[in-house]
Chain A
Amino acid sequence: MKGAFRQSMSWLHTWGGLTLGWVLYFMFLTGAVGYFDGEITRWMQPATPVVSETVDQEKMLVLAEARLEEVASDAKEWFVDFPVGREYALSIWWKEFANKDEDGDGEDDGVWVDEMLDAKTGEMVAVRKTGGGGALYRMHYALHYVPRTLAYWITSLSAMFMLVALITGIVIHKKIFKDFFTFRPGKKQRSWLDMHNVLSVLPLPFHIMITYSGLIFLMFTTMQGVITTSYGEGEENRERFFNVVFSGGVPHKDAAGIAADNITLSAVLPDVITRWGKNQMRYIGIENRGDINAHIEIGQQGYAGLDHGGSLTYDAVSGALQHDSGESAEASSGTQFYEVVTSLHEGEFAGSTLRWLYFISALMGTGMVATGMIMWATKRREKAEKNGQSSKGLVFVEQLNVGTIAGLPIAIAAYFWANRLIPAGFETRADWEINCLFIVWLVMLACPFLLSRKWSLTQVWAGQLTLAAVLYGLLPALNALTSDQDLVTTILQGDWVMAGFDLTMFAFALCFGFAGHKMNRKVSRQQLAAMVPSSSPAKTAKGIKGVVS
């Protein structure tokens, strides 16, 4: 019975893992990169007017508000982000009319527009439009080119499979403690399995947390039924549910349609300062501007444990305080659980060291999926070839593996290249950066098929890994050529966000270069093996080894 149980779990693990493996690889990699979304955006907008010393927030707010009045006096919503934490510049946001209503709530969806300002003069600083790190981060759960709800279903389903794969993986791993540290290289399948185990078991707490919390994150899409049974169908009832669960006691007021004069943003500052002290804001914004139901919202910088700092809400007509998160009643245990689990997933609270630890664990997860996929295919193909069966389908899987496992990193590098090569003034450049990513990925996916007559799969692996090494290795040079923030300058200035990106790209280039080098050696071994007549296998193997070493 026990044997049968383990066997069925093993079946579930291998097939469940394979089915959505490519999606999982995509989610793990873009999600890992997403932990550095702000830092990546900073690199992709080298003209960012970085604020490195403390500038008085009261002065910045006056400048920002003047600029908003100038460019967005009609907008219903304004926000000002201060340069604190992982925000590097003073920026303003407003919502323009977009003439579309995709969610069907009868209101214009609007489109957010942002500008960066010089923190001392309040003048607009032109930075190139980019999706930045945020676009990579968003695609790890919302994909791209796919309608949002469908994307959520696909990523949730993948997370579900991932959770199944993790649990079955623990069940079928016979020596989880004995093999805890074990990696034996140079032993083919054995080595792949060792690597798969190490990459899965060492960050297991992370893997379980990230998978489970990913499912929880999207539960309002996947478990809609729970909401509709208690609150009823439709957008209005759904909003009612969210108000109860997440408002934290602040009734979210929609615009009443009655015009009213609003106070300035700066008018509430004296009260904010008495509550939090000077220069403690993360953002300040106003909703329903010009309406009798307008309110001003302010977020506090810093984190208390896993949570964001507090928030304050003021009536924008009378200036009266409506809500202080520090004084509100505790949220329900369900809401608290949701918030803890999702903040663990996002890791917003993490400083730079912990962020790196998150990133490493997530990369190990990426490696876990990759090694699993590689093992699945080679193991079956070798067995099929040994038995003289057709291995066409398995070769197909292996070809997709190359185009995904090596191809996606190349595509991400292409995204960074596009960022610097598409002219800064090009209207739809942000969209085209992303298009470049997917076009390059598609080419990489097609490459093993198109080259299958001339190149062996090992050669395609070697080629793509080397290409990845070249693309990542030259990014710092591209940065030096297309901005005034080359690696030497940024290191001398102590700008570790910018320098860190370049140095990390070098590190990636080294890793891909090493992997490519290994693959190239494998290619030459295979070519030699093909040349030497197969007189005696033992002799051949020895001869080749001699030549190679």
Chain B
Amino acid sequence: MMFLSFSLAFVGFIALSLAMSRHFSQMRLWRKKRSKQEVLALQVMGYLYLLIAGAICMMNQGVAVGLVFWLGIATVAALLQSLLLTYRPKQAIIIGLATLALGVLLA
């Protein structure tokens, strides 16, 4: 369950970075531009995934320990995404989705 939470936070951060123009162009998607709605959708998705990740932590570990867990998980997930953006930006989305799939499988 905690790995699912981590993978959700990770994908959440990928979505949030996709909503930022510098990182969007780093990850070099099939398109160069996004509409305003798409940016908004990515932001909503990012925050939503982060919140779900937090909810899983708290349901699994209780509110107090869950909160601590959530912040720790979010820190590592964000660190991973910032390293990917620096060294493997084009693979970030694939790695993110693979992690999420693994998270769902393990849960």
Establish whether residues B65 and A306, one from each chain, have CB atoms under 8 Å apart when the complex forms.
Answer: yes
Establish whether residues B72 and A202, one from each chain, have CB atoms under 8 Å apart when the complex forms.
Answer: no
Within the complex, the shortest CB–CB distance from A192 to chain B, in Å, comes to 14
Establish whether residues A185 and B86, one from each chain, have CB atoms under 8 Å apart when the complex forms.
Answer: yes
Hey, which chain B residues are within 8 Å of A185, CB to CB?
A: 86
Establish whether residues B79 and A182, one from each chain, have CB atoms under 8 Å apart when the complex forms.
Answer: no
Establish whether residues B79 and A198, one from each chain, have CB atoms under 8 Å apart when the complex forms.
Answer: yes
Establish whether residues B72 and A354, one from each chain, have CB atoms under 8 Å apart when the complex forms.
Answer: yes
Establish whether residues B78 and A181, one from each chain, have CB atoms under 8 Å apart when the complex forms.
Answer: yes
Within the complex, the shortest CB–CB distance from A240 to chain B, in Å, comes to 31
A364 and B23 contact, Cβ closer than 8 Å, known pairs A182-B82, A354-B65: no
Complex Cα distance, B86 from A386, in Å, reads 31
**How many residue pairs, one in A and one in B, have C-beta atoms under 8 Å apart?**
66
B68 at the interface (CB under 8 A from A): yes
B73 at the interface (CB under 8 A from A): yes
B7 at the interface (CB under 8 A from A): no
Establish whether residues B83 and A183, one from each chain, have CB atoms under 8 Å apart when the complex forms.
Answer: yes
List the B residue with the shortest CB-CB distance to A304: B62
A319 at the interface (CB under 8 A from B): no
Which residues of B1-53 have CB atoms within 8 Å of chain A's CB atoms?
2, 13, 17, 20, 22-23
Which residues of A345-359 have CB atoms within 8 Å of chain B's CB atoms?
347, 349-350, 353-354, 357-358
B-contact bits for A178-198, CB 8 A (1 contact / 0 none): 101111110000000000001
Establish whether residues A205 and B65, one from each chain, have CB atoms under 8 Å apart when the complex forms.
Answer: no
Complex Cα distance, B76 from A206, in Å, reads 12
- Most-contacted residue by chain A among B23, B69, B78, B79 (CB, 10 A): B79
A360 and B82 contact, Cβ closer than 8 Å, known pairs A205-B71, A306-B65, A354-B69: no
- The range of chain A's interface size is 20 to 34
Determine which of B20, B65, B83 lies in contact with A305 in the assembled complex, contact meaning CB atoms within 8 Å: B65
Establish whether residues B20 and A206, one from each chain, have CB atoms under 8 Å apart when the complex forms.
Answer: no
A30 at the interface (CB under 8 A from B): no
Complex Cα distance, B80 from A183, in Å, reads 12
Which residues of B55-105 have CB atoms within 8 Å of chain A's CB atoms?
62-65, 68-69, 71-73, 75-76, 78-79, 81-83, 85-86
Complex Cα distance, B46 from A81, in Å, reads 47
A299 at the interface (CB under 8 A from B): no
Establish whether residues A203 and B65, one from each chain, have CB atoms under 8 Å apart when the complex forms.
Answer: no
Determine which of A181, A203, A305 lies in contact with B85 in the assembled complex, contact meaning CB atoms within 8 Å: A181
Establish whether residues A353 and B2, one from each chain, have CB atoms under 8 Å apart when the complex forms.
Answer: yes
Within the complex, the shortest CB–CB distance from B101 to chain A, in Å, comes to 20
Hey, which chain A residues are within 8 Å of B62, CB to CB?
A: 305
Establish whether residues A206 and B72, one from each chain, have CB atoms under 8 Å apart when the complex forms.
Answer: yes
List the B residue with the shortest CB-CB distance to A343: B64
List the A residue with the shortest CB-CB distance to B75: A203
Hey, which chain A residues are within 8 Å of B79, CB to CB?
A: 198, 202, 360, 364
Establish whether residues A183 and B86, one from each chain, have CB atoms under 8 Å apart when the complex forms.
Answer: yes
A344 at the interface (CB under 8 A from B): yes
Determine which of A184, A203, A344 lies in contact with B68 in the assembled complex, contact meaning CB atoms within 8 Å: A344
Hey, which chain B residues are within 8 Å of A262, CB to CB?
A: none
Establish whether residues A357 and B23, one from each chain, have CB atoms under 8 Å apart when the complex forms.
Answer: no
Hey, which chain A residues are within 8 Å of B63, CB to CB?
A: 305
Establish whether residues B75 and A364, one from each chain, have CB atoms under 8 Å apart when the complex forms.
Answer: yes
Within the complex, the shortest CB–CB distance from A19 to chain B, in Å, comes to 27
Which residues of A334-374 have CB atoms within 8 Å of chain B's CB atoms?
340, 344, 347, 349-350, 353-354, 357-358, 360-361, 364
Establish whether residues A358 and B72, one from each chain, have CB atoms under 8 Å apart when the complex forms.
Answer: yes
Complex Cα distance, B4 from A353, in Å, reads 14
Q: Can you list 10 A-B contacts (CB < 8 A)?
A: A184-B86, A202-B79, A203-B75, A306-B65, A350-B65, A350-B68, A354-B65, A354-B68, A360-B79, A361-B72
B residues near A (Cβ < 8 Å) are 2, 13, 17, 20, 22-23, 62-65, 68-69, 71-73, 75-76, 78-79, 81-83, 85-86
Q: Would you list the 5 A-B pairs with minimal beta carbon distance, nearest first? A: A357-B72, A181-B82, A305-B64, A203-B75, A205-B71
Add 15 more A-B contacts to A357-B75, A357-B76 (CB < 8 A): A180-B78, A181-B13, A181-B17, A181-B82, A183-B83, A183-B86, A184-B86, A205-B75, A206-B75, A305-B63, A340-B64, A349-B65, A350-B65, A357-B69, A358-B72
